[in-house]
Amino acid sequence: MKVSLVGVTGYSGMVLYHLLSQHPQVEKILLFGHSATATNENHRSTSGLPSYLNISDPLLPYDCQTIEERSDVVFFATPAGVTSQVAQPLINDNFPVIDLSGDYRLKDPLQYQKWYHKEPVAKETLRKASYNLADLSKPTSNYVANPGCYATATLLGLAPLVINHLIEPDSIIVDAKSGLSGAGKKLTTNSHYAYINENMLPYKVNQHQHIPEICQQLHQWNDQVNSIQFTTTLVPMTRGILASIYAKAIKPTSTDQLQEVYQTFYADHPWARVYLDGFPSVKNVSHSNYCDLGISYNEATNTIFVGSVIDNLVKGAAGQAIQNMNHLFNFDETMGFNLIPDIP
């Protein structure tokens, strides 16, 4: 099959290009810029990217007709606000799209406007997109809204508890920590080495744009869940997310019982690994498509703790997009992932 990729210069786009280039079903990758002229791009071909000096795939001007004529599916690894402006013709033609941005994740346009501070697409257009957490479901439409990185770690950590109604619906607290690559390539004051090295910084407290998509999915699983307490912290590492999740059990339980619940729930899901001894670290999943999970129960406080770790650029972005492509075209879910975690 032939694949188009819009947005190869960002971190997620570069990882996606790498994964697509080794996928056994992908014979050709066409690269497109964000605009009709591509003059606003940092590089005109992959050879302008330091990682790809020996590869010279041209960066083509964005054009829906060219994408549809020359490929079978298109990935958007673009910032929020791009696909909402340029993807409508693809939606009208029911052309397969996997969108890594947040433009089509939220079903309520007002929620998108509130959390992303951009103009939303119409509600009837949003209905044509399917938000798909690739480990737990398959897309229901040709336009796939790929979940965000924080949302992926949090939802996979909470799914067995929420779907099985094991926790108090209003008791969920998530303390999520992420490496710098999650903020993208654009330089900011907080991402300077001299500032973030040997430092940690809570950011977007109660304002992070992944909060509404997390709540939207949790509410679909259990309509008693309407909100969560969610905090993000920037830590001095390159990649990885640790979501520390806390919730009150509906009735007393035990760590052994909870581990059994998680093992049963994820028994047929190859990219989720449940720890029975100790807890995972971000290095356990680095450069891989795994989500690793550790669970504990505190009798004194009746609190369940879940540690959920992912690589934000693979599982939290490009890797899950490949999973969604595999689902969309009925390939094996593990196809294209010759990846094992690497340390250091």
Kindly report the three-state secondary structure assignment for every residue of 239-298: CCEEEEEEEEECCCCCHHHHHHHHHHHCCCCCCEEEECCCCCCHHHHCCCCCEEEEEEEE
List the catalytic residue out of 64, 149, 215, 291: 149
- CA–CA distances in Å: residue 314 to residues 74, 138, 150, 179, 321: 18, 18, 12, 13, 9
Per-residue confidence (pLDDT) for residue 343, from 0 to 100: 74
Look at the alpha carbons of 264, 267, 271, 274 in this order and tell me if their dihedral is positive or negative: positive
pLDDT digits (tens, 9 = 90+) for 3-39: 999 999 899 999 999 999 999 999 999 999 976 444 4
Pick the CATH number of 150-314 from 3.40.50.620, 3.30.750.24, 3.40.190.10, 3.30.360.10: 3.30.360.10
Regions of the chain short of the pLDDT cut 70 = 35-54, 339
Structure tokens at 182: 């999650």
CA-CA distance, 171 to 222, in Å (whole number)?
A: 13
CA-CA distance, 149 to 301, in Å (whole number)?
A: 29
Per-residue confidence (pLDDT) for residue 48, from 0 to 100: 57
Per-residue confidence (pLDDT) for residue 46, from 0 to 100: 60
Ranges of each domain in the chain:
2-146+316-328, 150-314
Report the DSSP pairing between strands 28-32 and 2-6.
parallel
Structure tokens at 309: 């770790």
- For domain 2-146+316-328, say whether CATH 3.40.190.10 is its number: no
Report the DSSP pairing between strands 173-178 and 241-248.
antiparallel
pLDDT digits (tens, 9 = 90+) for 298-339: 999 999 999 999 999 999 999 999 999 999 999 999 999 976
CA-CA distance, 224 to 251, in Å (whole number)?
A: 17
Per-residue confidence (pLDDT) for residue 35, from 0 to 100: 66
Q: Catalytic residue at 149?
A: yes
CA-CA distance, 3 to 70, in Å (whole number)?
A: 8
- Cβ-in-10-Å burial (0-12, 13-18, 19+) of 65 comes to exposed
Per-residue confidence (pLDDT) for residue 279, from 0 to 100: 97
Statement: the pTM of the whole predicted model exceeds 0.85: yes
Per-residue confidence (pLDDT) for residue 40, from 0 to 100: 43
